[in-house]
Structure 1
Amino acid sequence: MKCVTTALVVMTLSAASAVAETPVAEVSQLQLYSSFWQNLHHFLYVSAWATRPVVPEQPRLAMPLPPGSDVSMAPDEKATWDHAVTVYERDFASRDLLFGQRMTMIKLGLVDRDDKLTGAPYDDELKTLLLSAAPIYRKYWWPAHDAGNRAWIEDAVRRTTKYAPAIVARLTTLYGVPWFGRPVRVDVVRFGKSQGAYTSNNPTHIVVASSDPGYAQWSSVEMLFHESSHGLFRKTQLAIEDAANRAGKTPRDLWHVVLFYIAGEVTRQELAKDGVEYKP
C-alpha cells in the first residue's frame, strides 16, 4: 500500500494534547483497539455511501450497511446526524480511505484523542462536525459496534497467539527484514472500506472492519499478518518491480499478489501443522 507523505505524518504525530488509549489486546507487537473516534469516522463514511444509489459495474469504496442500521431519533438528533452524513457524502465519500486526499491524515489525527478532539489537526468545520455527531453515535450505535469489535478482537487474538511466533519467523525470513520493533496500531471498526481492511505506512497503521465475514474465524489470523506485511514488504516489492522492469514487463500490482500468496500460504501451513484445515 502507498505510504503517507512525511508532511502529513509529522503534522499528525506532532499534534498536541493526545491521550493514551488502551488497546483491547496485543499479539506480537500488534495492538488492537476499538476506538470511538475511528469508528465514528468510518461509520459516517459508510453511511454517506449508503445514501448513494447502486450503479452496476461502478465500484463502491465502502462496505454496505446491514439491514436494521436505521434508528428512530429525535428530530434535532436526526437533523444533526443527517447533516454530518451529508457533509461526508459531499466532501469525503468520493475519496478512497487509503489513497484519497487527506483521508490518511484524518484517520491518523483521530489516534489518542480525548472527548473534545483536543489537538486534532483539522479545520474547525470537520472538528465541529465530528463533535456534534459524537453523542448521537454514542447513544444509538456505539455500544453494539464496540461490543462487536471486542468480540472479534478476542477471537482473533485467541486464534493468533499460538501461531504468531512461527508465522512471524517465517515472514521475516522471507521478507529479509526484522519484525516490528515497536507496537503497531490496529484499529478495529465495525464498518469501513469495501475491501474490509487497509494499511497506511510511516507509521504502519492498520484498520480492519470486524463485521466483514471474510475476516471471521481463522481468516482473522491471515488478515492480521497480511496487513502487517504491508509495513515490511517494501524491500520485496522493489525487488519484484526491478525484476519485472529488467524483463520488460509491467504486471499490475504483482507485488500485492505475491504478498497475498505469502501471507496466506504461510498461515495455512502453520495452521495445518496443528491439524487446522484452512484455505486462504
Structure 2
Amino acid sequence: MVRPFRIPWSHLLLLLGLLGPPSGAARPQFNYTEPQLPVFELHSGFWINLHHTLYSEARQRRAFLSRDANATKSTPPKSVLAAKGLTDAEQKAWDDAVAYYLVNYADKDLLFTTELIQLKDQLGDFEDCDELSGRKRKFCDAGLPPNLTQVLEAAAPVYRAHLWTEHDQANRRWILQVAPLVREQGVGLSERLADIYQTRWPHEKIRVDVVAYANWAGAYTTVGPLRVTISSLDPRNQGPQAFEVLFHEGSHGIAETVQTAIIRECRQRDKPIPRDLWHALVFYTTGEVIRTVLASSSVSRADKLKGAPGNGYDTYAFREGLYQRGWKNYLELLQRFWQPYLDGKASFDDAIARMVSSL
C-alpha cells in the first residue's frame, strides 16, 4: 500500500518562501513563523529585521567615524545596499534612516539598553503589519515615537524592494536547518537543562526572532518577556552550533539559579564575585549536553546538519576560543568540579561550593 505523501502546511510555506518571488515581480512583505515546534517559536519578521539592519549599518559608520581619519587611511564601510541600484529617492530615504540610527541608537547596546529592548519587542509584535503608524489600520499603530515611525516607514519600501527577500530567505534556511533537531530533541533537552539548573523551563514557548544581523555576539537574549534574537548570517551560528546557540540563549531564561548560588557562596566565604563565571558555566553546560544529544540523534546520524556529531562535536566555546580569551581558569574549575555534577557524581550545591572555594 502506497501512503500519500503529505507536506506540513508550515513547511510548504517555508519552502515557497525560499523560492522567492519571480524576477521583476513586486516583493510583498511576507513574514514567517514556525509554530509547530516544541520549546521555541521561530520568527522571520520584517520590521525587526529592518531595525537590526539599520542598527548594524549605523554601528559600522560610528566605528569608522570614531577612528582618527589622519592616522588611518581606511575607506568608509560599504552599505548593505551598495550596488543594489537604488534610485536617488531610495538612497536618500535609506541614508536618512541610517543617520537617524547613528544619532539615536548607534552608541547604545541592544542587550542592555531598555529603550532598544522595548523597541525590538514592539517591532516583533507588529511583524504582520505593513505600517507602524496606524494610518491604514488602527491596530497597526505600534505606539513608537513619531520621528522613528516616520524613519522606519520611509526606509521600509527600500528594504522591502532590495534586501528583505534575501534576508528572509536566509532566515528561513536557518530555521529549516535547526528545526529537525528541535523537533526531535527539544523537549528532552529543555527538561535536562532545567534539571541541571534546578528550575523549570518556561511553560510558554520562547519566541526567537531570526534576523540577518543581531549584535556583536551574533545572538542575544532579553527578559520581561523572555525573547531570543539570533543572526542567520553570522558564521558562528551555522551547522550543529546553530542548535547549541539556540539552547544556550534559551538557557539565559533559567540560569539565574546558578548566578544566585555563586553570589551566595562568594558572600559566605567573603570572596569577590567572579565576573562571568556563571556565563562560562552556561556555555560549558549547553555544549556538553548538546554533545551527548548529537551523539544519540537520528538527525545527526542522517547528516542533516553539517559538522562532526557526538564525541567529535566541537562545542561553541571551544571553537570560538572563549576559554582562551580570559576563561581558562574557569574551564579548569568547570571540568574539575562542575562536570562531576553533570555526570551525576556530585550535588549542585557541592559543585558550586567547590568551584568558589578554588577561586
- Answer yes or no: same fold by TM over 0.5: yes
Partner of 1:264: 287
Code of the residue aligned with 2:171 in structure 1: it is N
Matched, 1:115 2:121: no
Q: Which moved more, 1:186-195 or 1:238-247?
A: 238-247
**Structure 1 267/161 Cα, relative in aligned 2: closer, same or farther at 3 Å?**
same
TM-score of the aligned structures, taking structure 1 as reference length = 0.84
Matched, 1:150 2:172: yes
Q: Give the 3-state SS of the residue equivalent to 1:195 in structure 2.
A: coil
Matched, 1:174 2:196: yes
Q: Give the 3-state SS of the residue equivalent to 1:104 in structure 2.
A: helix
**Structure 1 22/183 Cα, relative in aligned 2: closer, same or farther at 3 Å?**
farther
Q: Which has the higher helix share?
A: 2
Spell out structure 1 runs of 4+ moving beyond 6 A.
65-68
Q: Which moved more, 1:262-271 or 1:187-196?
A: 262-271
Superposed CA deviations along residues 224-260 of structure 1, whole A, max 9, x for unmatched, are 1100111111122211221122221221121111111
Code of the residue aligned with 2:123 in structure 1: it is L
Alpha-carbon separation, structure 1, partners of 2:32 and 2:44? 9
Q: 1:39 aligns with which of 29, 43, 49?
A: 49
Aligned residues: 252
Q: 1:77 aligns with which of 90, 93, 100?
A: 90
CA RMSD of aligned residues (A): 2.0
8 Å CA contact retained: 2:111, 2:117: yes
TM-fit CA distance, 1:24: 2.8
Partner of 1:254: 277
8 Å CA contact retained: 1:25, 1:153: no
Alpha-carbon separation, structure 1, partners of 2:148 and 2:36? 31
Structure 1 unmatched ranges of 5 or more = 1-20, 57-64
Code of the residue aligned with 1:44 in structure 2: it is L
Alpha-carbon separation, structure 1, partners of 2:268 and 2:106? 39
Matched, 1:279 2:314: yes
Q: 1:135 aligns with which of 157, 161, 181?
A: 157
**Structure 1 53/98 Cα, relative in aligned 2: closer, same or farther at 3 Å?**
closer
Alpha-carbon separation, structure 1, partners of 2:226 and 2:92? 37
Structure 2 unmatched ranges of 5 or more = 1-30, 68-76, 133-139, 302-308, 316-359
8 Å CA contact retained: 1:186, 1:206: yes
Q: Which has the larger radius of gyration?
A: 2
TM-fit CA distance, 1:180: 1.8
TM-fit CA distance, 1:178: 1.7
Q: 1:233 aligns with which of 224, 236, 255?
A: 255
Partner of 2:10: none
Partner of 1:23: 33
TM-score of the aligned structures, taking structure 2 as reference length = 0.66
Superposed CA deviations along residues 56-110 of structure 1, whole A, max 9, x for unmatched, are 8xxxxxxxx8896522210011111100000101110110011124010110111
**Structure 1 121/68 Cα, relative in aligned 2: closer, same or farther at 3 Å?**
closer
